[in-house]
Amino acid sequence: MKRHSAARTLQALIAGIARGGIRIVDLSHTLTPEFPPLVLPPELGQSWPFRVETISRYDERGPAWYWNNFSCGEHTGTHFDAPIHWVSGRNLPHNATDTVPLERLLAPACVIDCSREAAADADFLLTVDAVRAWEAEHGPIPPRSWLLMRTDWSKRTDPAAYQNLDEQGQHTPGPDAAVVRFLIEERDIIGFGTETIGTDAGQAAHLQPPYPCHSYMHGSGRYGLQCLTNLDLLPAQGAVLICPPLKIRQGSGSPLRVLALMAAEAP
Amino acid sequence: MSGASGQRPRKNPLLRTHVPLTPPAARSRIALRLTAAAARGRFELQVCRRCAHVQYPPREACERCLGLELDWKAERGAGELLAETTLHHSHEEYFRLRLPCRIGLVRLESGPTLVTFLRAGARGVGSRVLVAAHLDRAGQAVLVARAVGEQDSMAEDRALRELTCSARQRKILVTDGKSATGQALIRGLLQTGAELVWAGTAEPWKPAPGLDELARDPRVTPVPLDLTDSDSVRERVAQIGAKVDILINNAELHRPYGIGARYGVEVARAEMDLNYFGLLRLAQELAPVMRARSADAPASAVAWVNILSIYALSSFPAQGTFSASKAAAYSLSQCLRAELQRSGVRVMHVFPGPLDESWNEQLPGPKLSPEALARSVLGALEDGIEDVYPGDLAQEWLARWREDPKVLERELAAGG
């Protein structure tokens, strides 16, 4: 693109945002101590939940200022998964949060609405057929897009309902193994995003291979987004995601602000 | 004036809350040995090694032969009531509010004559009595005589009820109501006649079937409480802290690792964050509130119980990081005890041996059941004891530690 028109494109982008033609939707949850973290079996290492300790708040610890120290895991809250997070992606180039190519951090997003199916079955698995049916209605998934699986799981504000644990473990929706391979091999998606903790379904330990989304996506140098919200505000096609993770050295992921740019509805 | 359910009458909110007062707290160093024994629920007196004379009050030398070698030994306390009187007047502000009160002169079978408080049944010159040492509101030892066979709780006696921290008709916060020990404590508290028990729960998404069942009792209220989250602690204490009469801090993270057994600091950090920093967070929020209510009526804040571990005294290397976190909690709890000393809130340390829970399944017995731990805690609250060593193993390790901590260190390093 020539420099002129690139400059004009950027100006149009800013103008669109300022005048309201382009809407920005926040797909991230607020980081709070109450947000449920990923929980693994007790003998394995655990990821930290989000915690905040106030350093001072206009008081004797610091008269004119308010600031905090916070702590969390790389996979706390709304977060990005880099390929290095999974064993299958450990040796790929540019596989950590500090080395992810920047141009991949702005990408189109396709949103597939599985909210009805997920409401009926917490262990609902997205299949190739379901994706093809979606494409018949909304058009093919463009290459290097995010595929976001909308389940309205983010509306489960009760942490127990959000985790949905019983004696068999977690029951949350996700993709089956075949659709993950399809999305990689036939559609070249850049990443898979979900509203649940984990891009894989809650019972994905029992799929073949276990955790197919993590295994295949990261094994092919692609990304994940988890604990998204507001997917119900996005169009099926047309939104653009901005999702740069924190530049952590050899980072496996990080909490981040996921912004979606979309055309605002006509008044 | 009780309500229809027989509960304690409600506090009149227009009346000023009483401020905490304590009985005279000064004791000489030698007399503090009486307090140290009473803290463990024992009555001990000095016995001269040279002439076998039993003496009271405590002195630096034997009053009979001036020998300097005196041993503190358990005193049965059996004796005869020589004289009794009722006090109607005192210059001490603390006692002025607790008159009349009965005191008497008791001659012990072992020799010395003591001035003691008298419980209701101890009356009649010449009657047989038993003397015991209890901690008063200042945390110092006082002597109390009861009739042989007297069973009534000291809680009924206006002057003496401050020697007990009974959970009866009180409101208690148990910081971890989900764990097996928490549930055993809640069951025990209900049996004792607690008015209300708040059961703290962290990680609300993890099911707690035993607690769900206990919560069907209207006296039990699960409340969110995560001692690793400062916001959670602040919010919970703001909401219910002003009603907590007894705090039982049983929340802990326990893992069986030393230094080499598991690489990385994460597990040790998690143990420390809950076992040590959790206590710090809670104490910063709740201790000032309880201090202010330690003379409240009709119910007052009376006790803060920290479930530590016998390994706080001496590391069990197979569980070295856990031991270290409990040692840290023990030290901090001593600080808490000192900060609450003037208010009269009893800070109780409980030092169990290994609990009978899944992370200890590879340890040979004896291990302490949750019920046994709960019984121990509730009994100690009843008796006003402040240092509790529940179970045979804890008692054994305590005896060896007091004899020579270095020997215990070696024995625990060899596997205990």
Shared-domain flag, residues B182 and B307: yes
Whether B206 sits inside 8 A of A39 (CB atoms) is: yes
* Domain coverage including residue B108: 32-163
The dihedral region occupied by A144, where left means phi > 0, alpha psi between -120 and 50, and beta the remainder, is left
In this model, does residue B86 exceed pLDDT 80?
yes
In this model, does residue B2 exceed pLDDT 50?
no
Type of residue found at B18: H
What mean pLDDT, rounded, does chain A reach? 96
Type of residue found at A99: T
Element (H, E) at A119: helix A115-120
Whether A39 sits inside 8 A of B203 (CB atoms) is: yes
pLDDT for position B209:
84
Smallest CA–CA separation between A159 and chain B, in Å? 6
For residue B2, is it within any domain?
no
Whether B231 sits inside 8 A of A33 (CB atoms) is: yes
For residue B10, is it within any domain?
no
Residues of chain B in contact with residue A168, where contact means CB-CB under 8 angstroms, are none
Catalytic residues of A: 85
Q: At what angle do helices B405-413 and B392-403 cross, to 10 degrees?
A: 130
What domains sit in chain A, N to C, each tagged with a CATH number?
23-263 (3.50.30.50)
Shared-domain flag, residues B57 and B200: no
Among candidates B347, B255, B351, which has minimal Cα distance to B303? Answer: B347
For CA atoms B283, B289, B290, B291, the dihedral sign is positive
pLDDT for position B159:
72
CATH code of the domain in which B230 resides: 3.40.50.720
Of B138, B163, B188, which residue is a domain's last?
B163
pLDDT for position B416:
67
Shared-domain flag, residues B148 and B203: no
For residue B210, is it within any domain?
yes
Query: From CA A172, how far away is CA A165, in angstroms rounded?
Result: 9
Residues of chain B in contact with residue A51, where contact means CB-CB under 8 angstroms, are 228-230
Element (H, E) at A111: strand A106-113
Whether B205 sits inside 8 A of A36 (CB atoms) is: yes
Query: From CA B182, how far away is CA B176, in angstroms rounded?
Result: 6
The dihedral region occupied by B139, where left means phi > 0, alpha psi between -120 and 50, and beta the remainder, is left
B383 touches chain A (CB under 8 A): no
The 10s digit of each residue's pLDDT in A155-178 is: 999 999 999 999 999 999 999 999
For residue B372, is it within any domain?
yes
Shared-domain flag, residues B239 and B277: yes
DSSP character at residue B312: G
Smallest CA–CA separation between A61 and chain B, in Å? 16
pLDDT for position B10:
86
pLDDT for position A49:
96
Smallest CA–CA separation between B232 and chain A, in Å? 8
The 10s digit of each residue's pLDDT in B196-222 is: 999 999 998 888 889 999 999 999 999
Of B145, B163, B181, which residue is a domain's last?
B163
Residue A104 has φ and ψ, to the nearest 5°, of: -85, -5
pLDDT band at B139 (very low <50, low <70, confident <90, very high): very high
For residue B81, is it within any domain?
yes
Type of residue found at A57: R
Whether B232 sits inside 8 A of A162 (CB atoms) is: no
The 10s digit of each residue's pLDDT in A102-150 is: 999 999 999 999 999 999 999 999 999 999 999 999 999 999 999 999 9
Residues of chain B in contact with residue A165, where contact means CB-CB under 8 angstroms, are 205-207
Of B126, B142, B163, which residue is a domain's last?
B163
Shared-domain flag, residues B190 and B155: no
pLDDT band at B7 (very low <50, low <70, confident <90, very high): low
State if pTM tops 0.80. yes
Shared-domain flag, residues B202 and B153: no
ipTM value, please give it: 0.89
- With CA atoms as reference, the chain A residue closest to B225 would be A34
Shared-domain flag, residues B345 and B197: yes
Type of residue found at B374: A
pLDDT for position B1:
39
Provide the token pair at B186: 């809640």
For residue B6, is it within any domain?
no
Q: Which of B206, B231, B270 sits opposite A165 (nearest CB)?
A: B206
DSSP character at residue B111: S
Residues of chain A in contact with residue B266, where contact means CB-CB under 8 angstroms, are 45-46
Element (H, E) at B232: helix B230-240
Shared-domain flag, residues B65 and B185: no
Q: What does the pLDDT average to over B226-234?
A: 97
Query: From CA A153, how far away is CA A230, in angstroms rounded?
Result: 10
The 10s digit of each residue's pLDDT in B322-346 is: 999 999 999 999 999 999 998 999 9
Shared-domain flag, residues B131 and B192: no
Among candidates A228, A266, A258, which has minimal Cα distance to A106? Answer: A258
Provide the domain count of chain B.
2
Residues of chain A in contact with residue B272, where contact means CB-CB under 8 angstroms, are none
What mean pLDDT, rounded, does chain B reach? 94
Smallest CA–CA separation between A51 and chain B, in Å? 6
Shared-domain flag, residues B110 and B241: no
Whether A165 sits inside 8 A of B207 (CB atoms) is: yes
Q: What does the pLDDT average to over A199-211?
A: 97
Query: From CA A188, how far away is CA A186, in angstroms rounded?
Result: 6
Q: What does the pLDDT average to over A246-262?
A: 98
| Alpha-carbon separation of residue B17 from B214, B286, B373 (angstroms) | 33, 17, 34
Shared-domain flag, residues B80 and B179: no
Query: From CA B61, how far away is CA A46, in angstroms rounded?
Result: 59
- With CA atoms as reference, the chain B residue closest to A161 would be B205
B136 touches chain A (CB under 8 A): no
For residue B16, is it within any domain?
no
For residue B20, is it within any domain?
no
Shared-domain flag, residues B125 and B190: no
Token pair 């006509």 is at which residue?
Answer: A266
Query: From CA B307, how far away is CA B314, in angstroms rounded?
Result: 16
Element (H, E) at B224: strand B220-224
pLDDT for position B415:
83
- Cα B81-B85-B87 angle, rounded to 5 deg: 140
